[in-house]
Amino acid sequence: MAVTFYDLSSASGLKKLDEYLLSRSYITGYQASKDDLTVYAALPTAPSAEYVNVSRWFKHIDALLRISGVSGEGSGVTVKGSFVAEPVATPPAADTKASIFLMIDISIAAAAAEDDDDDDVDLFGEETEEEKKAAEERAAAVKASGKKKESGKSSVLLDVKPWDDETDMKKLEEAVRSVSMEGLLWGASKLVPVGYGIKKLQVMLTIVDDLVSVDTLIEEHLTVEPINEYVQSCDIVAFNKIYGRVCFVDLSKYILEKIH
């Protein structure tokens, strides 16, 4: 089904085209075609940055015309009431090659009028030293961006319960904090009354997810000898993933509320 656009020299016409290109890369189909050439030719000037989608599309088609040309057939498009004197329909298949070369000539001529330096551009010549250096810098940037990202972190709130009211809670906490491993950081703590004179230790810790398992920490470190002389059991009260600085601040507020 042919697509029709109206008055592409006006703000309203450009707005309609911009909305149309919001979810599309080309006028029709999934590759540049004669339909793109038709609309491209109907625009009196390069669209302003105000029309984000049209501007993106225009620059892309302009670049294709300069480098490789456009050969897709398209589905058919018509432009009415615009800069073009008569409605522009998709040219017949026999005229495709001629239309492509015509558009390339128009595009290069327009660029030359805007910047006299374009006359010195050799699109198919050997790379200059500046171009080689720029390519090397882009390759280095891509390589740097491909580095492994830092592993995620989590904040955990543990309840550590003693055997009875005679357990030395100071030594219990010292025993708990004596556990050390890569990716584990102990945080704030407090004693919370449970009942009958018994208190439990509530302690915060931050872990690197790829390095520390909380279940392993409890089962293989906190509830085995010699720490189990003081620790009867451990429970996970809260487990929160840390997503960036904002969530970390929110979690810090949560911790302060819990402790105080």
We report the CATH number of the domain holding residue 186 as 3.30.70.60
Give how far Cα 40 sits from Cα of 11, 54, 110, 157, 214, Å: 16, 10, 13, 61, 60
201 domain residue, yes or no: yes
The pLDDT value recorded for residue 186 is: 95
* Per-residue pLDDT tens listing for the chain (260 residues): 678 888 888 999 999 999 999 988 999 988 889 989 989 988 988 999 999 999 999 999 888 888 777 888 888 888 887 444 343 344 444 444 444 444 445 444 554 555 554 444 444 455 677 777 777 777 777 666 554 445 689 889 999 999 999 999 999 999 999 999 999 999 999 999 988 889 999 999 999 999 999 999 999 999 999 999 999 999 999 988 886 543 433 444 444 454 45
168 domain residue, yes or no: yes
Give how far Cα 108 sits from Cα of 62, 64, 67, Å: 9, 12, 11
The pLDDT value recorded for residue 76 is: 84
144 domain residue, yes or no: no
Range of the domain at 45: 11-68
State the amino acid at position 183 in one-letter form: G
Q: Does residue 226 have a cis peptide bond before it, meaning omega lies within 30 degrees of 0?
A: yes
118 domain residue, yes or no: no
Task: Give SS3 for 180.
Answer: coil
Q: What is the maximal distance between C-alpha atoms in the chain?
A: 97
137 domain residue, yes or no: no
Tell me which of 36, 53, 68 is where a domain ends.
Answer: 68
5 domain residue, yes or no: no
The pLDDT value recorded for residue 74 is: 83
191 domain residue, yes or no: yes
Tell me which of 28, 47, 68 is where a domain ends.
Answer: 68
210 domain residue, yes or no: yes
Count of the separate structural domains present in the chain: 2
The pLDDT value recorded for residue 148 is: 47
Q: Are 56 and 91 in contact (CB under 8 A)?
A: no
The pLDDT value recorded for residue 192 is: 92
Tell me which of 68, 92, 116 is where a domain ends.
Answer: 68
